[in-house]
């Protein structure tokens, strides 16, 4: 039996570890008023991480790397230190969108710097509350750690040029995890142009979840992605979304299914659509 820690944990398991010093619990909610919502109420003992300030270096022009480019190694090291995370920490991350908000992005980033003990809470905040995990508005007091050693991203990424080469190459597959209406160009709530990268296939991240909003079993996910990937290796698979955040939900699902984590196109549609590349798209605003 493999001793590998599952990338997904459930609320019941977390509840058993309540008040344990072994766990660093991270609230990764994102969007409007996310930090204010955290301060008003969060899982007891949780520490807050900000998508825009901590998990990205947001440029004024998304043409340069998209809306959520990765931060520098030094910045990310400082973030982990600020959160009290060391290489030996057991980190459990949640948000209020079952990982698609920013929890999976933080999970991917920790995995990419070879952090071993990191998990995402299945069902997120809502499932924990339903299971009886205590909530409060108290801000956790904790000690910062020394600088976390980071020298490279150890998980694979793809840049815009690699996506350009891969999108029409039969040996590769480019997966867009946004919802079908965005992929089809019917709506676009965040970027300037609606549509998708020509040659990409659409497999919405929401299909990683069951009717209760929880991750499907590893066996079900493995079977589904085996059909989609068609024996392609991780080196030949590129996953993207709007800005490199929700794509990590699918990378998390793949890891949960026992499939090697493929490449993340961090810039995603927010970068591609601003760089005069070929698009199956229409202007929306």
pTM: 0.96
Positions of the chain with pLDDT under 50:
1-2
Contact, 213 vs 148, CB < 8 A?
Answer: no
Give residue 284's pLDDT: 57
Q: What is the pLDDT of residue 2?
A: 47
Taken as a whole, the chain contains a residue count of 285
pLDDT at 78: 97
pLDDT digits (tens, 9 = 90+) for 64-103: 999 999 999 999 999 999 999 999 999 999 999 999 999 9
Q: What pLDDT score does 1 carry? A: 36
Note if 241 is an active site residue.
yes
List the domain boundaries for the chain. Answer: 8-136, 157-283
Q: How far apart are CA 113 and CA 181, in angstroms?
A: 34
Identify the CATH class of 157-283. alpha beta
For the stretch 124-134, pLDDT in tens is: 999 999 999 99
Whole-number Å distance between alpha carbons of 244 and 265: 6
Residue 3 has a pLDDT of 64
- Do residues 55 and 34 touch, judged by C-beta distance below 8 A? no
CATH number for the region 8-136 comes to 3.40.250.10
Structure tokens at 56: 């990205």
Q: Which of 49, 51, 241, 281 is catalytic?
A: 241
Do the domains spanning 8-136 and 157-283 agree at the CATH topology level? yes
């Amino acid at each position: 039996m493999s001793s590998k820690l599952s990338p997904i944990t459930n609320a019941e398991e977390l509840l058993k570890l309540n008040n344990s010093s072994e766990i660093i619990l991270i609230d990764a909610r994102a969007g409007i008023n996310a930090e204010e919502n955290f301060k008003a109420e969060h899982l007891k003992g949780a520490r807050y991480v900000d998508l825009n300030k901590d998990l990205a270096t947001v440029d004024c022009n998304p043409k340069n790397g998209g809306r959520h480019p990765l931060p520098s190694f030094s910045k990310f090291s400082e973030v982990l230190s600020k959160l009290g995370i060391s290489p030996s920490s057991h980190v459990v991350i949640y948000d209020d969108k079952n990982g698609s908000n920013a929890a999976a992005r933080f999970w991917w980033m920790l995995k990419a710097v070879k952090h071993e003990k990191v998990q995402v809470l299945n069902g997120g905040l809502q499932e924990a509350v339903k299971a009886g995990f205590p909530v409060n508005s108290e801000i956790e007091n904790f000690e910062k750690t020394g600088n976390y050693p980071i020298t490279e991203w150890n998980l694979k990424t793809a840049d815009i040029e690699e996506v350009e080469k891969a999108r029409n190459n039969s040996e590769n597959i480019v997966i867009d995890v946004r919802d079908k209406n965005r992929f089809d160009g019917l709506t676009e709530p965040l970027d300037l142009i609606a549509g998708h990268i020509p040659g990409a296939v659409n497999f919405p991240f929401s299909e990683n979840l069951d009717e209760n909003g929880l991750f499907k079993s590893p066996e079900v996910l493995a079977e589904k992605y085996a059909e989609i990937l068609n024996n392609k290796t991780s080196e030949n698979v590129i996953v993207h979304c709007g800005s490199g955040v929700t794509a990590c939900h699918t990378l998390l699902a793949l890891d949960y299914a026992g499939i090697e984590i493929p490449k993340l196109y961090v810039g995603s549609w927010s970068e591609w659509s601003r760089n005069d590349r070929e698009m199956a798209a229409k202007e929306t605003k």
